[in-house]
Structure 1
Amino acid sequence: MKILIIGTGSIGMRHLQNCLTIDRSITIDVVSRGKTSLEGLPEIKIFNTIAEAFDRDNFYDAAIVATPTSLHIENCIDLIHYGLKKIYVEKPIAPNLEDIETLMTLSKTEKVSVYVGFDLRFDIGLNKVKELLGKKVIGNLISFQAEVGQYLPDWRIGTNYKEGMSAKTELGGGVMLDLIHEFDYLSWLLGGFQKAYGLNQRIDHLDIETEGISVNIIQTNEGVLGVLSLDYIQKKLNRFSKFIGDNGTIEWNYVTAEVKWSCHSDLEQYYFEYKNVERNDRFIAILDAFLKARPENFDSRLTPLEEGISSLETVLAAKNFNNSVKSKI
C-alpha cells in the first residue's frame, strides 16, 4: 500500500508514525511546504506540492490531508483531480461552506471515499455510552450536557500559540472549529441535530483573533435539548458529557477514562473504566479503520464526508446566531 501524507505538523507526523506502526511495509510519500523532521526515515520521499508528488506517474492507494483547515477543501479537490479514490482529511472539513458543494459533487461523480478525522468516535468510553443509550438503560433521553476546556498556551509545548492555526481566523481557528469533535460525537450518539444557537467571544488575555469561549444550546432531531460549552481557558483539561433520561443518567469523563450510570429504579451506580488505553491507541484505531475501508464495507465509526459537513453546518449555525444577536445590540 502506498500513502501520500499532505502536511507534516504534529498530527501529520502522528499519522505517519502510526501508518508504520500498523504496517511497516506501507510506502509513504510526504507533501510539506516547510521544513520537516524525518530523521531515521530516509525511505520517505518529500515533495513540495501535490502536483509534484503525482508528476512522475506516482500512484497512491490513499491520502491523508493534515494541513491547516483553510487548505482542506483545496487539497481534497486536487487529490480527486489526480485520480485518488480514498481520502482521510483532518477535522474540521473546512472553516466555512465555500466550495463544499464542489467537493461533494466531485466525490460522488468520481466515486471517491472521503472520511473526516473525528477520532473521538473511536473512544472506548463513548462507544460504551452509545451502547447504553441504544439499550435505553436510562429510558428516554430528556437532556444532555457537555463541556470541554483546555488552556490554549499549553496545547503545543515549544510553539507560540499566537502564531498557530488556533489563533488565526484565516487559517480556520477558534475554539468552535478546534473542538468541533464535541459537536460531532454528540450528533453521532444522539442521531443528528436540527437546531443550534450559540454565543461566543474572544478572551482578551489570550490576545488572539479567534473566539476563546463558546456556549451553545442544541436540539436533536428527536427534540432533545442540550448545552455544549467549549473554551481555551481551563488550565486543567476538562472533557465530559452527561445524558439525562427519564429513568436515570449516564456520565462520560474523558480525563478519568470512565463511564458511570445509574437508574431511578436501582440505587446501584455502575462503572466502566478504560484507564489502560493510551490516547494514541484511538488514532491508530481510526487510521487502521480508514486503511481497511472499502466503499461497500467500512467501520461505522468512521465519519463520511456528509456527516463531517453536517457537524460543520451545526457549528456555523451557532456562529451565525451569535453574529445575528451582536448585530441587534
Structure 2
Amino acid sequence: MKVLIVGCGSIGRRHAANAARLAETAVHDITAETARDCARASGARAFERLDEALAWRPSVVVVATPHRSHLAVARQAIAAGAHVLIEKPLSDTLEGVADFLVAVDASGRRAYVVCNMRFHPGPAALKRHIGRVGRPLFARAHVGNYLPAMRPDRDYRTLYAARRAEGGGVVLDAIHEIDTLTWLLGEVESVSCQAARLGGLEIDVEDYALLALTHGGGARSSATLDYLRRRKSRGCEIVGADGVLVWLSEGKDPERCSVRLYRDSADGGEALVEVPAIDTAQPYRDLMAAVLAEIERPGSTALLGARAAAADLAVALAAHQSAERTGAAVDPRGLR
C-alpha cells in the first residue's frame, strides 16, 4: 500500500513518519526543499509536483495543508483514485463541503478527517464505558493550553491558530471537543456560544469560548475552550441517570491521564484508566494504522468520516454565528 502526505509542516512530518512505519510513503510540499527535508527524516520519497505525486497512484492521500486548501487538494486526490485523510478541521468554511461529499460518494473512495483524540485513552474509555452510566443527561468538556507556549520554536503570532484568515481561533482549533461530545451524545441540534479575546494576546481571533449544546437525544453539554491556561488541561465529565464518568488529562510531556466511573456518591470511584505519563504520540500512530485498516475493512475503526466531520464543522461555525449574535441559539443543521 502507498501513502502520500501533502503538506510537510509539523503535522505533515508527524504523519509521514507514522505512515513510513506501515507503508511505502511519499511526500509533497509546495516548497521542494521542505518536502526533501521531510522525506529524509521519514525515509519517504519526495515529489516536487502534486500531479507527479498523484501519478504515483497512492492508495491514501493525507492532506496536511492549510485549512483553506483542504477540499481542493482532497478533490484532486479523490479524482486520482485515492482515499483521503484530511487534517482537522475539514475546512474553515462550509462552502464546497456538500459538493465534496457528493464527489466522494460518486467516486467510490472514502474520506476521513483527523481526530486523533478518538484514539486517546481518555475519550476512548468514555466511549467504551458510557453505557454504564445509563441514559446520558449532560456532559461538560474543557480544553485549555497557552498559545504562546504551544510551539516554542515559533512566534505564536505567526501560527494559523492566531489568525482569522487562516481558520484560526480556539473554536475551530479545538473542534476535537465538539467531536468528542457529538461522538458520545449524538447530533447537535442547537448551539449557543460566548466568545472573546480575554488574554491580551496579539491575535485577531477568540482565545476563549464557552459553548452550550443541545443534542438530538435530549442530552445537554457544554465545552469551555481557551488559549490562556498556563498548564494544559483537557477532560470531560458525563453525568448519566445511573452514574458519572470523569476523564481528566493534566500537563504536557508528561501528560497524566485518568478516567473514573462513579456509581454511588459514597464510593471513591472505579479507576478505568490511570496513566501517569501517556505517550502523546501513540494516538497519531494508532490513527494512521486505523486508516490503513479502514481501506481493507470499512467501518472497523473509530476514524471520523468526512460526513460526520462536516457536521462538526457546522457546529463550530454555528458557534461563531452565535457569538456574533451575543449568544443566540443557532441550529447547525441549517448551515449544512
Runs of 5+ unmatched residues, structure 1? none
What residue is the counterpart of 1:273 in the other structure?
273
Residue 321 of structure 1 deviates from its aligned partner by: 1.1
Residues 40, 294 of structure 1: alpha-carbon distance in 2 compared, 3 angstrom cutoff: closer
Does 1:184 pair with 2:184? no
Q: Which amino acid letter does the alignment assign opposite residue 282 of structure 1? A: P
What residue is the counterpart of 1:78 in the other structure?
76
Does 1:92 pair with 2:93? no
1:267 partner SS: coil
- The CA deviation string for residues 78-115 of structure 1, in whole angstroms up to 9 with x for no partner, is 2122x233111111000010110121111011112001
Q: Percent identity, aligned pairs only?
A: 25
Residues 169, 42 of structure 1: alpha-carbon distance in 2 compared, 3 angstrom cutoff: closer
What residue is the counterpart of 2:111 in the other structure?
114
1:278 partner SS: coil
Residue 27 of structure 1 deviates from its aligned partner by: 2.3
- The CA deviation string for residues 267-319 of structure 1, in whole angstroms up to 9 with x for no partner, is 34211224264111111111101012137533340111111101001111111
What residue is the counterpart of 1:282 in the other structure?
283
What residue is the counterpart of 1:323 in the other structure?
324
Does 1:210 pair with 2:213? no
Does 1:65 pair with 2:66? no
Question: Could you tell me whether the CA contact under 8 Å between 2:20 and 2:44 is conserved in 1?
Answer: no
Question: Aligned residue pairs: how many?
Answer: 319
What residue is the counterpart of 1:44 in the other structure?
44
Residues 7, 267 of structure 1: alpha-carbon distance in 2 compared, 3 angstrom cutoff: same
What residue is the counterpart of 1:168 in the other structure?
163
What residue is the counterpart of 1:28 in the other structure?
25
Question: Which of residues 141, 145, 152 in structure 2 aligns to 1:150?
Answer: 145
Question: Could you tell me whether the CA contact under 8 Å between 1:165 and 1:171 is conserved in 2?
Answer: yes
1:257 partner SS: strand
TM-score by length of 2: 0.89
The separation in 2 between residues aligned to 1:194 and 1:46, in whole angstroms, is: 44
What residue is the counterpart of 1:259 in the other structure?
259
What residue is the counterpart of 1:103 in the other structure?
100
The separation in 2 between residues aligned to 1:274 and 1:7, in whole angstroms, is: 35
Question: Could you tell me whether the CA contact under 8 Å between 1:125 and 1:274 is conserved in 2?
Answer: no
Question: Could you tell me whether the CA contact under 8 Å between 1:289 and 1:298 is conserved in 2?
Answer: no
The separation in 1 between residues aligned to 2:42 and 2:87, in whole angstroms, is: 25
Moved more, 231-240 or 249-258: 249-258
The separation in 2 between residues aligned to 1:52 and 1:58, in whole angstroms, is: 7
The separation in 1 between residues aligned to 2:162 and 2:41, in whole angstroms, is: 32
2:203 partner SS: coil
Residue 126 of structure 1 deviates from its aligned partner by: 1.8
The separation in 2 between residues aligned to 1:133 and 1:326, in whole angstroms, is: 30
The separation in 1 between residues aligned to 2:232 and 2:44, in whole angstroms, is: 35
What residue is the counterpart of 1:19 in the other structure?
19
What residue is the counterpart of 2:243 in the other structure?
248
The separation in 1 between residues aligned to 2:214 and 2:99, in whole angstroms, is: 29
What residue is the counterpart of 1:306 in the other structure?
307
The separation in 1 between residues aligned to 2:322 and 2:39, in whole angstroms, is: 48
The separation in 2 between residues aligned to 1:42 and 1:90, in whole angstroms, is: 19
The separation in 2 between residues aligned to 1:120 and 1:242, in whole angstroms, is: 15
Moved more, 309-318 or 139-148: 139-148
2:133 partner SS: coil
The separation in 2 between residues aligned to 1:127 and 1:222, in whole angstroms, is: 21
1:102 partner SS: helix
Residues 295, 105 of structure 1: alpha-carbon distance in 2 compared, 3 angstrom cutoff: farther
Question: Could you tell me whether the CA contact under 8 Å between 1:33 and 1:48 is conserved in 2?
Answer: yes
TM-score by length of 1: 0.91
